[in-house]
Amino acid sequence: MTTYKRKPTKGELRSQRLEEVVMYPIDWLEERSGLIGGLRYFLFRKVPGDVNWMQTLGSAALTAFLVQAITGVILAMYYTPSAATDPHTGQPVAWLSIVNITDHLTMGWLVRGMHRWGASVFIILMFLHMARVFLFGAYKYPRELNWIVGVLILVMGMMEGFTGYLLPWDQTSYWATVVGINLNGTAPILGPWLAQFLRSGQEISGETLTRFYSLHMLVIPGGIIALITLHLYLVIRLGVTSPPWSKEAAGMEPSEDGHAPLRPGLTQPVPRGISPQGEPGGSE
């Protein structure tokens, strides 16, 4: 607490009071869980000084996933995964609920549009992020495992696309799913079994729709969330890589936290009697 040499004014007292009120719950939580410190460590950890905008593609993909998760949860409040025929209109119930979301419910068109187009944004951002990691060589030791985890997230993202495509239950989604499942069915040996598992029987039926719905909104997102958690843990543990053109990473320039250049000889003559410091990365 700040100590004043003079008597504090009313304004100072008030702001002091306010600070206490704000800090009390934060301190309470920190003392009992350490979560605030953990969050602070995550948000304010050190990254190389010469990172650039390309390195935000990962968090952009994460944001796209969160948009999918939130809009998906809301859409699930209005969508009905039923292949039954509505007796009044003669149309399938699932398709009618999509029509209702799109045409009748307030802002339904917007949230469904966010989910539908956001799906493509998510996949595209994952590919761009992957390209950045590849071109920067950020998949190399010790980050190979994180590359593998990232590939699994990409595969599960595509499974989300495949299972989500059936849900509008119109001609396009039905026949796309017929072809997609049969394509899986042509895989050697286990293909026919995989196809029959996805179909939940010999033919596409109402059970296929409910199965795809369950996979789309529960099973696969759960897997993606677990993998993203692992992915982020590895990012925090292993740190962010510098771009390949980084002079700092090559040891030619002093780093931001005041370390002397590791290889001064590359840019200037080494003064006699001074050897490069034994820093990690300085292999000379």
Partner 1 sequence: MEPEQPSPDTEQESLHEEAHLPPPTFWPIGFAIGIVLILVGLIVNPELISSIGAVVAIVFGFLWFRDATRELRGEPVVVEPERREMKPTGEGTAAPAGSAPAAVEETAVTRSRFLEGATLGLGGLIGGLITIPVAGFAILPGFLNQKVHKVDLGPITGFPVGQWFIATFITDPVEGEISRRTAFIRNNGVVTNPNTKPSPSFTIISNRCAHLGCPVQANGPQGSILGKPTRHEHTLNGPLRLIPAIPAGYGCPCHGGQYDTEGNRTAGPPVRALDRYEFEINHGRLVLLSTYSVSHVVGTGGQAQIYKYKQYGPGQHVDGPEAWFYPLSPPMHG
Tell the smallest beta-carbon distance from residue 201 to partner 1 (Å): 5
**Per CB under 8 A, does 207 bind partner 1?**
yes
Amino acid at 46: K
Tokens 């209109």 belong to: 89
Indicate which single residue of 26, 35, 47, 84 sits in contact with partner 1 (rule: CB under 8 A). 84
**Overall residue count recorded for the chain in this entry:** 284
Q: Candidates 107-115, 154-162, 172-180, 253-261 — which segment interacts with partner 1 by CB under 8 A?
A: 172-180
Q: Are 251 and 281 in contact (CB under 8 A)?
A: yes
Own/partner pairs for 143-148, CB < 8 Å, 24+ apart?
143/234, 143/238, 143/241, 145/234, 146/231, 146/234, 146/235, 146/238
Instruction: Name the DSSP letter for residue 92.
Output: B
**Smaller CB separation from partner 1, 115 or 211:** 211
Indicate which single residue of 48, 206, 223, 254 sits in contact with partner 1 (rule: CB under 8 A). 206
**Per CB under 8 A, does 218 bind partner 1?**
no
**Per CB under 8 A, does 188 bind partner 1?**
yes
Tokens 């920190």 belong to: 30
Beta bridge partners of 92: 85
From 157, 158, 175, select the one nearest 166 (Cα to Cα).
175
**Smaller CB separation from partner 1, 50 or 86:** 86
**Smaller CB separation from partner 1, 138 or 181:** 181
**Per CB under 8 A, does 85 bind partner 1?**
yes
**Per CB under 8 A, does 106 bind partner 1?**
no
**Per CB under 8 A, does 185 bind partner 1?**
yes
284 vs 98: CA distance, rounded Å: 65
Give the binding-site size for partner 1 (rule: CB under 8 A).
Answer: 29
- Structure tokens of 173? 């989604």
**Smaller CB separation from partner 1, 191 or 239:** 191
| SS3 assignment for 192-244 | HHHHHHHHCCCCCCHHHHHHHHHHHHHHHHHHHHHHHHHHHHHHHHHCCCCCC
**Per CB under 8 A, does 182 bind partner 1?**
yes
**Per CB under 8 A, does 199 bind partner 1?**
yes
Indicate which single residue of 70, 178, 226, 235 sits in contact with partner 1 (rule: CB under 8 A). 178
**Per CB under 8 A, does 203 bind partner 1?**
yes
- Structure tokens of 180? 């997609």
Indicate which single residue of 2, 3, 106, 202 sits in contact with partner 1 (rule: CB under 8 A). 202
- Structure tokens of 26? 């934060």
Indicate which single residue of 28, 175, 233, 245 sits in contact with partner 1 (rule: CB under 8 A). 175
115 vs 123: CA distance, rounded Å: 12
From residue 44 to residue 83, the character string flagging contacts with partner 1 as x (rule: CB under 8 A) and all else as - is ---------------------------------------x
List of residues contacting partner 1 (CB under 8 A): 83-85, 92, 175, 178-179, 181-183, 185-186, 188-189, 191-193, 195-197, 199-207
